[in-house]
Amino acid sequence: MSVARKALEMTQAAADVIVQRAGARYEAHRQEIFRSADRMFGGLMIGQWIFAIVIALTFSPYAWQGKIKTVHMHVWIALFLGAAITSLPVALAWFRPGEPLTRHAIAVGQMLWSALLIHLTGGRIETHFHVFGSLALLAFYRDWPVLLTGTVVVATEHLLRGILWPESVYGIPNPEWWRFLEHAFWVVFCISFLILSCRRSQTDMRVMAERGAELEALSENQWRNSSAVDRAAADGRGDR
Amino acid sequence: MTVETSHERQDGKGYDRVVVPAPEGGTRSLSRKQFENLPLRERVSYLIEGTAQFFLDGKPILPSEAMRT
């Protein structure tokens, strides 16, 4: 085998290893972000559950049927529906962190939490801000399909509840039929920019990984050059 | 050929042009954007072989200087 061919093969082999390492670094970085966001949402879900119970106990602890006082349905809803919404995302965040299923389940859960909090506060418009806050938090994943999952859930939930129980979502009994579209429009407005941000962030992460690969390649080149100098010096000493 | 180092340059701009071997022989001159759009494996190969020559404002610079920014 000629020296030139051997050198070419060595370069190709080294380039393959460096490119593979860059890909692995990029994936490891993404995994770190996914897992960190999963942990954050795991804690947030439990925090929201406690918050919902406190809201229900504070604003509507009892119901009256004549002279009979009972615990208000909202308390049970906060307790049991809250537990149902929280359990799967928290379990997935705990047992399967970093997986696509986990972050999409969390997106669904987080939007259902918005819906439940809106219901528990009687459709207060201010509680709708929870939806936008949640979308911003979901952008922590830097994975834009998660935002689409959240958007589909919140739009569907607003549509169905707007038809079946409008007071629960808008605080009034007879909103316009298209009210959910107005809410959906602002959600789409918000996620359009969040999606752009997620995509840009992913590009930056890839560029960082590639920059690392280029530096590794430079280092490999310098190592080869210094090895060649050492060999030449050794050969020179051998000749004397 | 004399090359500039970052001690001589104050702007920290990196490079704006790269000359690399052309597939059909000879060389080709690429802008920074064109070089960065090459497949990573190709860029890495040029850097390992030391066949990429970097330039800033028409002056040659060391690859290690070019990669700083």
What confidence tens digit (pLDDT) does each residue in A120-156 have?
Answer: 988 888 999 999 999 999 999 999 999 999 999 999 9
Quote the minimal CA–CA distance from A1 to chain B in Å.
Answer: 19
- At B11, the pLDDT band (50, 70, 90 cuts) reads low
Q: Is the pLDDT of residue B12 over 70?
A: no
Phi-psi label, residue A170: left if phi above 0, alpha if psi -120 to 50, beta otherwise: alpha
What confidence tens digit (pLDDT) does each residue in A210-229 have?
Answer: 999 999 999 999 888 888 78
What is the C-alpha separation between B21 and A93, in angstroms, rounded? 50
Domain boundaries, chain A: 29-210
What is the C-alpha separation between A223 and A210, in angstroms, rounded? 20
Q: Is the pLDDT of residue B2 over 50?
A: yes
Q: Has this prediction a pTM greater than 0.80?
A: yes
CB contact under 8 A, A214 and B64: no
What is the C-alpha separation between A216 and A17, in angstroms, rounded? 10
Rg over alpha carbons for chain B, rounded to the nearest Å, is 12
| pLDDT value, residue B8 | 47
Neighbours of A91 (CB within 10 A): 13
**Over chain A, what is the mean pLDDT?**
91
ipTM value for the complex: 0.79
Quote the minimal CA–CA distance from A208 to chain B in Å.
Answer: 11
Query: Which residue in chain A has the smallest CA separation from B42?
Result: A15
Closest CB to B45 among A15, A22, A215: A15
- DSSP SS3 for A197: helix
What confidence tens digit (pLDDT) does each residue in A52-109 have?
Answer: 999 999 887 766 667 777 778 889 999 999 999 999 999 999 999 999 999 999 999 9
A-B Cβ pairs (cutoff 8 Å, strict): 46
Of the listed ranges A211-215, B22-26, B38-42, the least confidently predicted one is B22-26
Which amino acid is located at B34 in the chain? Q
Query: Which residue in chain A has the smallest CA separation from B46?
Result: A217
Strands B27-31 and B17-21, how do they pair?
A: antiparallel
CB contact under 8 A, A214 and B49: no
